[in-house]
Amino acid sequence: MLYRVKQFFRGIFASGLSADEVDFVKANLTEAAQELFFQMNRADIRHTMNVLKTAQEIFDGSFREQDFPYLYKQDAGELRRLLVRCCLLHDVGRGRCMGPVRKALAVLLDMLFPVWSRRYGRCDSRSLVRGTLYRYYHHGELGGELLRGIGMNAEAAIISLHHKKGLGSMLPENRRILAILKKADSLN
């Protein structure tokens, strides 16, 4: 519970991006992906940058060439770039309206009334509570749909599964990217 309280205050007092971070985002995302990224609220944008930093540390410490002998150096570099894009875009399905207050509401309802919350948040609605729960539970799939719409299919496949159990059926190296994203996200 203390972790969630800290998370709430980190979200409320989240800092904006520095000029270097904005340049980094622009260098690594297409214009369409940048549009999705910059539509997120400030707390989610800061969260994605924290997830990215953690994921890069995990990638550097765990992704060994001997695990994937068929990959060339440029392929390993492309996997790192895929990880960067997935980290930056993993929460675009939340949209602009899912700020720290709504997220706190969803977390509390999920903790206190998990069965009701899952059932009530099963479909989207303009209702504050139902819409918030829907985005909370389904933002991975919603983000995947948005990314498929702009042609980012590999990223969509990974992001759609980042809050699901298991690693899905995809290439082993993409499963590794998904596992790193899940771990980095849970640590932030």
Is pLDDT above 90 for 67? no
Confidence band, pLDDT 50/70/90 cuts, at residue 57: very high
Better-predicted residue by pLDDT, 115 or 125: 115
Provide the pLDDT for residue 8.
63
User: Domain segments of the chain: what residues?
Assistant: 2-187
Cβ atoms of 152 and 19 within 8 Å: the answer is: no
Type of residue at 73: K
**Global pTM?**
0.84
Distance, CA of 101 to CA of 13 (rounded, Å): 12
Using CA atoms, how far residue 153 sits from 145, 149, 174, in Å, is 9, 9, 12
Provide the pLDDT for residue 162.
85
